[in-house]
Structure 1
Amino acid sequence: MTTPHPVPYAVPYAVVPYAPGAGPAAWPEELRRIAGPEVLERWGAADRAPHAPRLVAVPGDGGWAAAALVTARPGTAYAKIVDAVGDVPAAARAVVAYAEEQRLVQVVWEGWTVSGEDAAAAGFAPLRPQLPGGTDEPAGPRTGYVRWTAGEGVAEPAYYRQSTHFSCGAVTALLAQVRAGVVRPESLDREAELTLWRDATNFPACEPVGLGVAVRRRWPSSSVEVFLDTEEPVLLDHLDGDEREWRAVLQRASRADADRLGVPVHGLRLSLAELREAVEAPGRCRHVLLLVSLATMQGFDVPHWVLCHGAVPGAVVVEDPWFNTAAGETWVDAHLLPVADASLDAMSLLGGEVRVRGAVLVDGG
């Protein structure tokens, strides 16, 4: 394992639970003394409880010298600084020390109040701005920053948020091709998203074989393989009767299309080791579009596509084209997201009594 990047110098800190529903009057006096009202208003504007909000505080003379609100999705290997207040460099050092102590591989920082200069001085690199999307949801901060605490990180792709609740498969495929240089970033928009979704959908979801077929049709020069360890229709557990049957017919048609187009459909479960090997292959631009359940990261058991594009010690790095603004998430949570190996292994097994894994391996060349 690569040695974590050292903290410039040690700084004492304390971790204090954050009560998201209590309101500013119930927050520690030490915090209200160093945090402006606009910062506290932003902190309290969302129910951050699902993301274990906590304050990392640096003691000073007569109170706190600095503090940062820190959150993270469950099952992941990162910590996010929403804001740092007071002595900002000291707060950043404290959060990095906390992350290393927790064996997290990454710290990200939302750019609400921090300057690029302060972020750089704390060892954080700027993130690429998210691509414009086709949604009216709040966009979050215009900037964000990242510091890897283990390994050297991975090459950063562009980030685009899906504009519907059902087009995640199409967006992950498009993001893979943008990163491979097959698609220009500026051409990734809502029309491209929905056009590819229309070609791949099983109404409304995209199942693995149909998604793989749509990718091959759109980009014939890209190598595409599907891994699905069942021959039965998938993503239909919530349906019965005719609603289930006609979608099953479409999935059988997708398998026939895959055979005609030469898209291999392996009736095997892609292992986590094989997934890591694919995205870490030197000199290749290989991506895995992976079906996961959002039960761990978001609290609801809904199938969802993410793009796996890199790996660091102990975690696979993904792009999640959706984030939950109601829980205080922004694109900074969903971009360059390290998911712990064991968590990704568990959340990518879907279904009822028989659990299956669906994945599409795309090699852009």
Structure 2
Amino acid sequence: MTRRPHRDEAPKAPKDTPVNSTVVPFDSDTSPALLERLGHLDVPERWKTVDRSAQSPHLVAVPGSDGGQWFAAALVTARPHTAYLKIVDAVGDAPAAAAAVVEHGRRQGLAQVKWEGWTADHEAAATAGFVPLSLPLTQSATEDGPASGYVRWLHDAAVPEPPYYGQTTHFTCGAVTALIAQTHMGTLARGDLDREAELTLWRDATNFPACEPVGLGVAVRRAWPTSAVTIHLDTDEPVLLDHLPAEEQEWRALLQRTSRTQAARIGVPVDARRLSITDIRTTLDRRESVLLLVSLADMLGFDVPHWVLCHGTVPGAVVIEDPWANASNGDTWVDAHLLPVADASLDAMAAVSAERARGAVTIGRSPAPLPES
């Protein structure tokens, strides 16, 4: 009997046989004609229902021995400025199509290939060296993603898999990343990661409606008094307010000053140095967590501040959990879960507001009891 690898192990990659493949841009109006000879017209029809143009959709196809008719093809996309590819579907000889995408990813020096489970089955995925992703506990508010997904890392490093939880509102990303981090580190039971926990932590951390770094760090320490928490913010000024009118900024700025007072009172340090990618990697190497404030402009096309969880590293990239998936461009939980982002790209994303400030909250494993108040 074949032993199924533990989720925290790096599965031994099968020997890859060189694949003769061709890569062409996908066009929802003309590409289906290229696939008609495969006899899978139901899949191309579904491909046309979403505008995937923001994710560079393309076909990776495997021609027959005569170099003519394709006998396998995959629709492939990815978030911009990341280090992975995603197979939306593979048609024809699915394992052959997946093998071609893996080779395509290797040629680009990427960290990972994923495969959405719309039509993929476990046997086909396993044949191509993919392992199942843990199913999401919930999906983002606007998302209707596949019921399953698969991943194949293109290196031998192990990346432990946190649970995936999609934020159920547009504004609870900070609370969700903290909850996923504590679940991943064993501080919070998986069964306690739910909407009540999401909204409860957000209510304690919010600057209405966003969570700024100091308020989030204070709320995390209050919720888990034995967790070692450090807030990183390289400005003394209020953040995440520049889009608001002056009268709206004033009272939120007051709340942020109050959060700093609370941090000092309960012993949560606020580190004013700019947290570097090297610092993030060092923290993750200690198997600690980094809640990082980023802009979604590069990955999803809108310059909105957003919290992600950094929880692992691979050569050249940091692995994050993003609690939000943008369904309007074909983005799903499979994209957002175990998402590798190249170091330089993450460094560019992690600057928000007009001041290009960097905010983060690190959560350690060592006990740090609250001081007497």
Equivalent pair of 2:84/2:110 in contact (CA under 8 Å): yes
- Number of the residue aligned with 1:289: 291
Q: Deviations over 1:207-232 (max 9, x none)?
A: 00000000000000100001100000
Task: Give the Å deviation of 1:158.
Answer: 0.3
Equivalent pair of 2:144/2:327 in contact (CA under 8 Å): no
Corresponding letter in the other structure for 1:87: D
Corresponding letter in the other structure for 1:80: K
User: How far apart, in 2, do the equivalents of 1:28 and 1:328 lie?
Assistant: 17
- Number of the residue aligned with 1:323: 325
Alignment partner of 1:341 is 2:343: yes
User: How far apart, in 1, do the equivalents of 2:352 and 2:146 lie?
Assistant: 33
User: How far apart, in 2, do the equivalents of 1:165 and 1:59 lie?
Assistant: 44
Alignment partner of 1:170 is 2:175: yes
| Equivalent of residue 116 in structure 1, options 95, 98, 122 | 122
- Number of the residue aligned with 2:314: 312
Does 138-147 or 49-58 show the bigger shift? 138-147
- Paired residue secondary structure (2:220): helix
Alignment partner of 1:39 is 2:43: yes
What 5-or-longer segments of structure 2 have no aligned partner?
1-9, 367-373
- Number of the residue aligned with 2:54: 50
Does 355-364 or 29-38 show the bigger shift? 29-38
Does 294-303 or 28-37 show the bigger shift? 28-37
Q: Deviations over 1:163-222 (max 9, x none)?
A: 111100000000001101111112211111011000000001000000000000000010
Q: 1:240 to 1:349 in 2, by over 3 A?
A: same
Q: Indicate the RMSD between aligned Cα atoms, in angstroms.
A: 1.6
Corresponding letter in the other structure for 2:248: E
- Paired residue secondary structure (2:59): strand
Q: How does 1:1-365 map to 2 (within 5 A)?
A: 8-20=16-28, 22=29, 26-60=30-64, 61=66, 62-132=68-138, 135=141, 137-281=142-286, 285-352=287-354, 354-365=355-366
Corresponding letter in the other structure for 1:348: A
- Number of the residue aligned with 2:7: none
Q: TM-score, normalised by structure 1?
A: 0.94
Q: 1:54 to 1:14 in 2, by over 3 A?
A: same
Equivalent pair of 2:143/2:326 in contact (CA under 8 Å): no
Equivalent pair of 2:22/2:61 in contact (CA under 8 Å): yes
- Paired residue secondary structure (1:161): coil
Task: Give the Å deviation of 1:359.
Answer: 0.5
User: How far apart, in 1, do the equivalents of 2:94 and 2:140 lie?
Assistant: 35
Task: Give the Å deviation of 1:88.
Answer: 1.1
User: How far apart, in 1, do the equivalents of 2:264 and 2:39 lie?
Assistant: 61
Q: Deviations over 1:326-359 (max 9, x none)?
A: 101110000000001100000101222x321000
Q: 1:130 to 1:101 in 2, by over 3 A?
A: same
Task: Give the Å deviation of 1:140.
Answer: 1.2
Task: Give the Å deviation of 1:65.
Answer: 1.1
Corresponding letter in the other structure for 1:287: S
Task: Give the Å deviation of 1:256.
Answer: 0.2
Q: Deviations over 1:295-341 (max 9, x none)?
A: 00011100000000000001000000000111011100000000011
Equivalent pair of 1:151/1:312 in contact (CA under 8 Å): no
Q: TM-score, normalised by structure 2?
A: 0.92
Percent sequence identity is 61
Q: Deviations over 1:223-254 (max 9, x none)?
A: 00011000000001111322000000000000
User: How far apart, in 2, do the equivalents of 1:256 and 1:364 lie?
Assistant: 24
Q: 1:68 to 1:48 in 2, by over 3 A?
A: same
Task: Give the Å deviation of 1:132.
Answer: 3.1
User: How far apart, in 1, do the equivalents of 2:36 and 2:261 lie?
Assistant: 63
Q: Deviations over 1:66-109 (max 9, x none)?
A: 10000000000000000111111110110000000011110000
User: How far apart, in 1, do the equivalents of 2:202 and 2:112 lie?
Assistant: 32
Equivalent pair of 1:134/1:189 in contact (CA under 8 Å): no
Q: 1:280 to 1:319 in 2, by over 3 A?
A: same
- Off by >4 Å, runs of 4+ in structure 1: 4-7
Number of aligned residues: 354
- Paired residue secondary structure (1:248): helix
